[in-house]
Amino acid sequence: MLTPADREHIEDFVERIRAAGGDKQKVRMIALSELSRVHRRKNPNTGDFYHPTTNRSLITEYRNIIRDELGENAPVLETFRYSTARVAEYRQHQQEQREAQHHNQRPLNAQEHVERAVTLLNYTNTLRWSTAAAIAGVVALTGRRPYEVGCVGFFSPDPADPARILFSGQTKTRDDERAAAVYSVPVLAEPKLVLKTVGRIREQVDPAMENKVYSQRFGKEVGNQAKRTFRDANEDPIIPRELREAYAAVAYHQLGNREISEVQFYNEVLGHQGTDLNTSLFYFAFYVISGSDV
């Protein structure tokens, strides 16, 4: 999510590029100077440089806004991008992050995790409605992203399998075909409860709301609700992004079979079809235990 300061920097950058007009050298120098500033930023709380993943995400936001404001083929995009050296740095960081995660998996009690989600949805549907709680609970049971649950996702019964739902509206892809594709998604509890909850969310939240507006209105609240409700077997809180990882682990534990590898199963239930398996490797964060293992 963009901070107000980030947004101000991007708006100022776009205006400076506009003012440079057709002066290619000036555009290039402005872009290189801004890229340097992005990579030299430090976290004010720690004094450390931001991670490559954070910088890459910010540069992606810049490029998206540049396309919106200046056009898909704006010349500045040729310069304002991740350099080859930075791409190598980013990939190295990703590899190290993935290896660390695979060596430090977190224990998760599958039954307790599902029961917490069901209890949360039953409470918010019958006693005290909370949009944030509803979103967190549906994310936990379906593995969809909070923005997909809160706004843009389409959920419906799967006539071929009553234990699944049909889902479309995947985000985090620039592929319109993948975004519109319909997936059959396993649900960790009663699909009717999920569909009922999503229906109520749609009554409360405008489905056309932009992601950045959704994040400003609901992001923090959903995060707090997730951390209050969901915990691993060590009693460490689970944040919304990690709910997708927990979902995949529990779904494989409940539904996986020996004919399909665990990474391929993750790839399919998380909607990574059409990509290599590398993306799914970042979702191996939990291993499932039973109550007797605690």
CATH at 280: 1.10.443.30
Statement to judge: residues 61 and 184 lie in one domain: no
- How would you write the pLDDT of the chain (294 residues) with one tens digit per residue? 677 888 899 999 999 999 999 899 999 999 999 999 998 998 888 888 888 888 888 999 999 999 999 999 999 999 998 877 777 777 777 778 778 888 899 999 999 999 999 999 999 999 999 999 999 999 999 999 999 999 999 999 999 999 999 999 888 665 566 667 888 999 999 999 999 999 999 999 998 898 878 988 999 999 999 999 999 999 999 999 999 999 999 999 999 888 899 999 998 898 876 666 878 888 999 999 976 555
- On whether the CB atoms of residues 264 and 85 are closer than 8 A, the answer is no
> Token digits for 30?
């402005």
Q: Of 60, 82, 102, which marks where a domain is finished?
A: 102
Statement to judge: residues 134 and 187 lie in one domain: yes
Query: How many angstroms separate the first and last alpha carbons of the chain?
Result: 36
User: What 3 state SS string does 251-266 have?
Assistant: HHHHHCCCCCCHHHHH
Statement to judge: residues 19 and 81 lie in one domain: yes
Name, in order, each residue with C-beta under 8 angstroms of 44's C-beta and a sequence gap of 6 or more.
Answer: none
Write the single-letter amino acid at 78. E
Q: What is the count of structural domains for the chain?
A: 2
The residue assigned the tokens 């592929």 is: 175
Statement to judge: residues 9 and 130 lie in one domain: no
Q: Of 56, 72, 102, which marks where a domain is finished?
A: 102
Sign of CA dihedral 130, 135, 136, 140: positive
- On whether the CB atoms of residues 172 and 145 are closer than 8 A, the answer is yes
> Token digits for 153?
């996702």
Statement to judge: residues 55 and 122 lie in one domain: no
Statement to judge: residues 21 and 143 lie in one domain: no
Statement to judge: residues 271 and 157 lie in one domain: yes
pLDDT of residue 177: 62
- On whether the CB atoms of residues 209 and 134 are closer than 8 A, the answer is no
Statement to judge: residues 195 and 216 lie in one domain: yes
pLDDT of residue 19: 93
> Token digits for 68?
């919106």
Long-range contacts of 77-86 (CB under 8 A, 24+ apart): 79/27, 79/28, 79/31, 79/32, 79/35, 80/31, 80/34, 80/35, 82/56, 83/35, 86/39, 86/52, 86/55, 86/56
Its domain, for residue 164, covers 106-293
Statement to judge: residues 50 and 110 lie in one domain: no
Statement to judge: residues 270 and 161 lie in one domain: yes
Angstrom distance (rounded) from CA 247 to CA 268: 13
Statement to judge: residues 196 and 279 lie in one domain: yes
Q: Of 52, 69, 102, which marks where a domain is finished?
A: 102
Statement to judge: residues 67 and 139 lie in one domain: no
E strands present in 68-169:
106-109, 154-157, 164-168
